[in-house]
Structure 1
Amino acid sequence: MNQKRTFGAILTILGIVGIIYGALGFMQVAGVVLGKMNSIVPFVVGLIFFFAGINLVKATGDRS
């Protein structure tokens, strides 16, 4: 099993969680209490993790 692809998948999942948390905080639903400006931070970090994970999975070649 390739460790880079696994780490990329973990980063992608963490990115998705960060994006969802930031969006819920921005809309102030589901018990997530964040200000409008404070919800930007998890959203941006989630975007960075998401795109870094996708690029890591895409750039890593399969070895047999």
Structure 2
Amino acid sequence: MNLKRIFGALLTALGIGGLIYTAVIFAGTSGETRDIKALIIYGILGLIFFVSGISLVRTTKDES
């Protein structure tokens, strides 16, 4: 059981969740300032989590 791979998968899942939540907010937005701020914040956090999770999974070597 490799802890780094599990943490990478968790970060990836959180990133995907953040990006999906951003898409849901984008679909229901009316263009107010609060909506745009939420889009930017959740989108950037989702993207950072997703990229860092994928990177962590790719760079971690399997050791049995």
TM-score, structure 2 normalization: 0.85
Whole-Å separation in 1 of the counterparts to 2:51 and 2:45: 10
| Runs of 5+ consecutive residues of structure 2 not aligned to the other structure | none
- Between the two proteins, the alignment pairs up a number of residues equal to 60
Please, which moves more after superposition, 43-52 or 20-29?
20-29
Higher relative contact order by CA 8 Å / sep ≥ 6: 1 or 2? 2
Structure 1 runs, 4 residues or longer, greater than 6 Å off: none
Higher alpha-carbon deviation: 36-45 or 51-60: 36-45
Gaps of 5+ in 1: none
Query: Normalized against structure 1, the TM-score is what?
Result: 0.85
1:19 matched to which residue of 2? 19
Offset, 1:27: 1.5
The CA distance in 2 between the partners of 1:27 and 1:20, in whole Å, is 11
CA RMSD of aligned residues (A): 1.4
